[in-house]
Amino acid sequence: MNKTQLKKIKKTILKKETLVFDQLVKKQKEESFKFCENYKDFLNQSKTERKAAGQIVQAAEAEGFVDINTLATKKSKTIKKVYKAFQGRCVALAILGKHGLVTGANIIASHIDSPRLDLKQNPVYEDLSMGLMKTHYYGGIRKYHWLAVPLALHGTIIKANNETIDITIGEDPEDPVFTVTDLLPHLAGKTQADKKISDVFEGEKLNLIAGSLPLGSDEEKGRFKLGVLNLLNKNYGIVEEDFVSAEIEAVPAEKARDIGFDRSMIGSYGQDDRVCAYTSLKAILNTRSPDRTAIALFFDKEEIGSEGSSGAKSNFLEDFMSDLLFIGGENTDNRALRKALINSSCLSADVNAAMDPDFKEVHEAMNAAKLGFGICMTKFTGVGGKSGSSDASAEFVGKIRQIFNKNNIVWQTGELGKIDQGGGGTVAKFLAKFGMNVLDCGPAILSMHSPFEVSSKADVYMTYLGYKAFYSDND
């Protein structure tokens, strides 16, 4: 066999890995960078699930999407683009297709909640000469990430008279911020050096410094706590009991930034999973009259197991689908709904872990995702022998692969770490229970669940193009 023949055989039968930046021509590269400028704005405006839901609804309305709840009493043949927001924390968008919904929809499901520190229901106290606030962390965090960094507060408070107060403190450069203190290295030795990392950082020590100006003279007991509460009362009209009916989240105050001399990457809090929320949002907003109904779902509570009324385990999708059947003038009985669900195809839009140059040992190089190599298909997730994974079928992975290849989407595959190294899950299995085909599909990022997650602009852009191609697929 001569060299030319060998080269031809290699080219034909070996799987190729493509770096997105190798494939993008200059104009596309510029476009990908431009796309990410708006993405960074979205991240900065969407630090909590409520803020993200608000941004999504606003963007949808600007593109002519109509609140489906306002159509609930009449069938409207002319309205094709609708949305539903639920409890202010999860959202669904749809563009009705030319075919009936009963033949199935193309669904992309992401989540808009991210790990953070929630204020407890009785948060304010004082110690030494400071007012402090107790937190309970939400989702999988590495606790030391949250020490000695500036934190912003976002929250919704329901007062005793049922009035709603929304607060955002720490996002404006003029605002004050909050912080959890850390132990100085000089004194950390005896307390921390010989301990396991899980014992060193305790959840009960993730307390926010909230003030140090006392109210009243030094005979006054609790005057630092009172100082904090008094300011909250003056500025927002709230009293201590109001924290009971409040959701206040402490999140990194930093804004999304470009990373690297070449600005090819983005560093930001909350990219898991607002990178998929943003790219699927842009994909559906830029989809024109699809054959199959296009649906984008933005769930809450993924980071704590998709529980609750706004999580993927809830009836939100079924409720939205039956509304879609109704406004589309289709049969709305239970059988039609079940058929619409079982005939649907779904991309579970979530991030995977990109191989980290400093922690290669937790990955299996042949099957790990890499930064910059495009949208990542994750056939299965799970822990200890795929346990807890819905494991996409060969047929459905084949279909998505064909869509991507047909549309020049740069894709890769990824497995979340080595076998028995750990693992994780997504919303995939909660949608697969309806019988629909589901595949996990999204970009791979570094430093996942940290306050400064890293994505590649090339992957973000390719994810958007991939999602758009999926919505536009007509088979």
C-beta closer to Mn ion: residue 330 or 459 = 459
C-beta closer to Mn ion: residue 274 or 468 = 274
All residues at 6 or more sequence positions from 212 whose CB lies less than 8 Å from its CB, including other chains? 129, 130, 131, 224, 227
- The edge-to-edge listing of strands for the beta sheet with 105-111 is 66-67, 81-86, 90-95, 293-299, 105-111, 345-348, 437-442, 375-378, 411-413
- CA of 418: how far to CAs of 364, 371, 397, 423, in Å? 5, 17, 21, 9
Q: Looking only at Cα atoms, what is the longest distance across the chain? A: 95
C-beta closer to Mn ion: residue 249 or 273 = 273
Check if the beta carbon of residue 284 is closer than 8 Å to that of residue 294.
yes
Q: Is 126 in the site for Mn ion (CB under 5 A)?
A: no
Q: Give least dist CB 401 to Mn ion, A.
A: 22
Q: Give least dist CB 266 to Mn ion, A.
A: 16
C-beta closer to Mn ion: residue 102 or 281 = 281
Q: Is 272 in the site for Mn ion (CB under 5 A)?
A: yes
Check if the beta carbon of residue 137 is closer than 8 Å to that of residue 451.
no
Q: Give least dist CB 362 to Mn ion, A.
A: 16
Q: How many CA atoms lie within 13 A of 167 on its CB side?
A: 22
Element (H, E) at 217: none
Structure tokens, 77? 């043949």
Closest CA to 342 of 323, 359, 365, 317: 317
Q: Give least dist CB 315 to Mn ion, A.
A: 22
For the stretch 336-345, what's the b/e string if a residue is b when 16 or more beta carbons lie within 10 angstroms of its beta carbon?
bbebbbebbb
Residues 323-362 binding Mn ion (CB under 5 A) are 350
DSSP 175: S
Check if the beta carbon of residue 277 is closer than 8 Å to that of residue 113.
no
The torsion angle over the Cα atoms of residues 138, 140, 144 and 147, rounded to 10 degrees, is: -30
C-beta closer to Mn ion: residue 323 or 350 = 350
Q: Give least dist CB 303 to Mn ion, A.
A: 5
C-beta closer to Mn ion: residue 177 or 351 = 351
Q: Give least dist CB 276 to Mn ion, A.
A: 8
C-beta closer to Mn ion: residue 111 or 399 = 111
Q: Give least dist CB 417 to Mn ion, A.
A: 14
Among 49, 249, 273, 330, indicate the residue that binds Mn ion (CB under 5 A): 273
Q: Give least dist CB 350 to Mn ion, A.
A: 4
C-beta closer to Mn ion: residue 294 or 353 = 353
Closest CA to 112 of 95, 129, 87: 87
Ramachandran angles phi, psi of 237, nearest 5°: 70, 25
Instruction: Draw the binding track, 225-264, toward Mn ion (x: CB under 5 A; -: no contact).
Output: ----------------------------------------
Q: Give least dist CB 112 to Mn ion, A.
A: 10
Q: Give least dist CB 228 to Mn ion, A.
A: 32
Sole window of 80-88, 268-276, 352-360, 463-471 interacting with Mn ion (rule: CB under 5 A):
268-276
Check if the beta carbon of residue 460 is closer than 8 Å to that of residue 443.
yes
Q: Give least dist CB 139 to Mn ion, A.
A: 7
- CA of 317: how far to CAs of 258, 314, 321, 354, 425, in Å? 36, 8, 6, 30, 19
Sole window of 2-10, 48-56, 125-133, 265-273 interacting with Mn ion (rule: CB under 5 A):
265-273
C-beta closer to Mn ion: residue 228 or 441 = 441
# binding residues, Mn ion (CB under 5 A): 3
All residues at 6 or more sequence positions from 118 whose CB lies less than 8 Å from its CB, including other chains? 135, 136, 137, 138, 247, 248, 249, 250
C-beta closer to Mn ion: residue 112 or 324 = 112
C-beta closer to Mn ion: residue 96 or 297 = 297
In the complex, residue closest to Mn ion by CB: 273
> Residues in the site for Mn ion, rule: CB under 5 A?
272-273, 350
